[in-house]
Structure 1
Amino acid sequence: MIADFVKGKQIYSYDERIQQGIRLHRALDEFTDGHPATRQAKAVFQPDCGPYGPVFMDVVYDHFLANDPEHFSLPSLASFSASTYNILAAHQEQLPPDFQRFFAYMRSENWLYNYHKRDAIFQSFSGIVRRAKYFSKPATVPFGVFETHYETLALCYRQFFPDALDYMKSRYEGDLP
């Protein structure tokens, strides 16, 4: 969860298990970016969103995962979300300061659970647009792409996710949750 908030050598200030998690997250990001289905999905966003397409794609994949019946039901998604928030809260003092602020909103608005809803995707896109330095279009633009190309993006997710799971299982030295 914190990998995007840990820069460069900051990784070495964390214990080995957290370092392993950060490295796994970064490896998954690299795998995701290079996957043919992700490249196809990014191409859907590119005309309207330019270089911000991959940022929106991360949220889109979260949406499809939250709705994937092979991995979550609404009760199991709720349980997973609550468990994740509790684990993060128990280690709050170890979280990077920027993530601590981010986490406060994430938990209070129950982002992990709400990713299954389309209106929550719009809210997430709105937050991205608000924080983006070089994206001047309203959130309705990327959300319109999401809505217009929903089935294409869902297909990209279905092509990508089994490969991502296999990739992570091959890299992780332990039990995946």
Structure 2
Amino acid sequence: MNYLAHLFLSGDDEDLRLGNFIADGVRGAKLLLYPERVQEGVRLHRLIDSFTDTHPIVAETKERLRPKYSKYAGVVADIFYDHFLAANFQAYSSISLAAFAEQAYALILSRPELLPERVQGFLPYMVQQNWLVGYAQVAGAARALHGLSRRTTFVSGMETAGEELQLHYTFYQQEFERFFPELQAFVEEQITLIEN
């Protein structure tokens, strides 16, 4: 899952949400420098990634993507799934995607002292270009993938992944719709364990 899903799955707890968002930029013992609840958000992010990476439905998606995108199939799948969450956000949330994105950006921007260098690097572009809302359009997901392709060390082919999404849209959407409720249930269980 990508940024939108990680932010959304955190619920209303701001520290948990922030930790979930910054997790990829938090390495090793640096985790212990954060407030406890932010640490829990980082750990939740990792649990979400592990659940997603080992799930048989996600494996179907990655298998379809692997011939074109090899080791980047998982990255492409993450963006595709964020697209489907964004495009159908009203089915999962009581507030609009635009309102959710605005709240998320405001939260992240209000805590600059907790943002890893990696997040500080991309955050201005994320907010200015409104990535979270942009994911709702195939063109927005394609832009994200094209940007990722420019930052990879090896040839990834991700610049063509928008075309792949359009070509097999129904297959990917069905896989997302089968997978996401299971992920939601898993995350709700994990948050309950954190709170007890």
Q: TM-score scaled to structure 1, two decimals?
A: 0.92
Q: Counterpart of 1:116 in 2: which secondary structure?
A: coil
Q: Distance in 1 between matches of 2:55 and 2:165?
A: 19
Q: How many residues align?
A: 174
Residues 1:124 and 2:144 aligned together: yes
- % same residue: 34
Q: Distance in 2 between matches of 1:174 and 1:88?
A: 25
Verify the 8 A CA contact 2:52 2:183 in the aligned structure 1: yes
Deviations 1:59-82 (A, max 9, x none): 111100012231148x71000000
Verify the 8 A CA contact 2:69 2:156 in the aligned structure 1: no
Q: TM-score scaled to structure 2, two decimals?
A: 0.84
Structure 2 residue identity aligned to 1:145: E
Distance 1:154 1:118, change over 3 A: same
Superposition CA RMSD, Å: 1.8
What stretches of structure 1 of length at least 5 have no aligned partner? none
Q: Distance in 1 between matches of 2:93 and 2:172?
A: 19
**Poorly superposed stretches of 4+, deviation over 6 Å:** none
1:12 to 32, 39, 61: 32
What stretches of structure 2 of length at least 5 have no aligned partner? 1-20
Matches of residues 67-106 of structure 1 in structure 2 within 5 Å?
67-68=87-88, 69-72=90-93, 76-106=96-126
1:51 Cα deviation from its structure 2 partner: 0.5
Q: 2:164 corresponds to which residue? A: 145
Verify the 8 A CA contact 2:84 2:176 in the aligned structure 1: yes
Report which stretch shifted further, 80-89 or 11-20: 11-20
